Amino acid sequence: MGKTVIINESMLKRLVTEQIIVEGDLNKSDVANAVKDVLKNDKSLNKDIEKKVKSLVAASVNTLFRTLWQRRNFYEDEIKK
Protein backbone atom coordinates (compact mmCIF):
# COMPACT_ATOMS: atom_id res chain seq x y z
CA MET A 1 0.00 0.00 0.00
CA GLY A 2 1.31 3.46 -0.92
CA LYS A 3 2.02 6.23 1.49
CA THR A 4 -0.13 9.33 1.74
CA VAL A 5 1.75 12.60 1.52
CA ILE A 6 0.04 15.78 2.64
CA ILE A 7 1.43 19.07 1.36
CA ASN A 8 0.14 22.59 1.73
CA GLU A 9 -0.62 25.04 -1.07
CA SER A 10 2.64 26.99 -0.82
CA MET A 11 4.67 23.78 -1.04
CA LEU A 12 2.70 22.72 -4.15
CA LYS A 13 3.30 26.10 -5.79
CA ARG A 14 7.02 25.87 -5.07
CA LEU A 15 7.25 22.34 -6.48
CA VAL A 16 5.33 23.26 -9.63
CA THR A 17 7.48 26.36 -10.12
CA GLU A 18 10.68 24.37 -9.79
CA GLN A 19 9.39 21.71 -12.20
CA ILE A 20 8.45 24.31 -14.84
CA ILE A 21 11.86 25.95 -14.55
CA VAL A 22 13.65 22.61 -14.91
CA GLU A 23 11.55 21.47 -17.88
CA GLY A 24 11.96 24.76 -19.73
CA ASP A 25 15.71 25.10 -19.17
CA LEU A 26 15.09 28.50 -17.62
CA ASN A 27 16.51 30.21 -14.59
CA LYS A 28 14.58 32.37 -12.16
CA SER A 29 15.83 35.65 -13.64
CA ASP A 30 14.55 34.65 -17.11
CA VAL A 31 11.12 33.94 -15.69
CA ALA A 32 11.12 37.16 -13.66
CA ASN A 33 12.10 39.22 -16.70
CA ALA A 34 9.39 37.58 -18.83
CA VAL A 35 6.73 38.33 -16.21
CA LYS A 36 7.89 41.95 -15.86
CA ASP A 37 7.77 42.44 -19.64
CA VAL A 38 4.24 41.04 -19.85
CA LEU A 39 3.05 43.22 -16.98
CA LYS A 40 4.54 46.36 -18.54
CA ASN A 41 3.24 45.76 -22.06
CA ASP A 42 -0.25 44.34 -21.42
CA LYS A 43 -2.57 47.36 -21.39
CA SER A 44 -5.71 45.38 -20.51
CA LEU A 45 -3.93 43.87 -17.52
CA ASN A 46 -2.80 47.33 -16.43
CA LYS A 47 -6.40 48.58 -16.66
CA ASP A 48 -7.65 45.62 -14.62
CA ILE A 49 -5.01 46.24 -11.96
CA GLU A 50 -5.88 49.95 -11.91
CA LYS A 51 -9.59 49.16 -11.47
CA LYS A 52 -8.85 46.77 -8.62
CA VAL A 53 -6.59 49.31 -6.91
CA LYS A 54 -9.24 52.03 -7.21
CA SER A 55 -11.87 49.68 -5.83
CA LEU A 56 -9.63 48.75 -2.90
CA VAL A 57 -8.82 52.39 -2.14
CA ALA A 58 -12.49 53.37 -2.28
CA ALA A 59 -13.44 50.56 0.08
CA SER A 60 -10.62 51.49 2.47
CA VAL A 61 -11.60 55.17 2.55
CA ASN A 62 -15.24 54.19 3.04
CA THR A 63 -14.30 52.00 6.01
CA LEU A 64 -12.15 54.77 7.47
CA PHE A 65 -14.91 57.38 7.31
CA ARG A 66 -17.50 54.92 8.65
CA THR A 67 -15.23 54.14 11.60
CA LEU A 68 -14.56 57.83 12.27
CA TRP A 69 -18.28 58.60 12.09
CA GLN A 70 -19.16 55.83 14.52
CA ARG A 71 -16.54 56.99 17.00
CA ARG A 72 -17.02 60.72 16.55
CA ASN A 73 -18.22 61.17 20.12
CA PHE A 74 -14.87 59.91 21.37
CA TYR A 75 -12.81 62.57 19.63
CA GLU A 76 -15.47 65.33 19.70
CA ASP A 77 -15.58 65.22 23.48
CA GLU A 78 -11.79 65.47 23.68
CA ILE A 79 -11.74 68.46 21.30
CA LYS A 80 -14.54 70.32 23.10
CA LYS A 81 -12.78 70.20 26.50
Model pLDDT for residues 31-54, shown as the tens digit of each residue? 788 888 887 888 887 788 899 999
In angstroms and rounded to an integer, the radius of gyration of the C-alpha atoms of the chain is: 24
pTM (predicted TM-score)? 0.44
H-helix segments, the chain: 9-23, 28-41, 43-70, 72-80
pLDDT digits (tens, 9 = 90+) for 67-76: 888 777 777 7
- Are 27 and 21 within 8 A, CB to CB? yes
Q: Which one-letter amino acid corresponds to residue 13?
A: K
Q: How many CB atoms lie within 10 A of CB 76?
A: 10
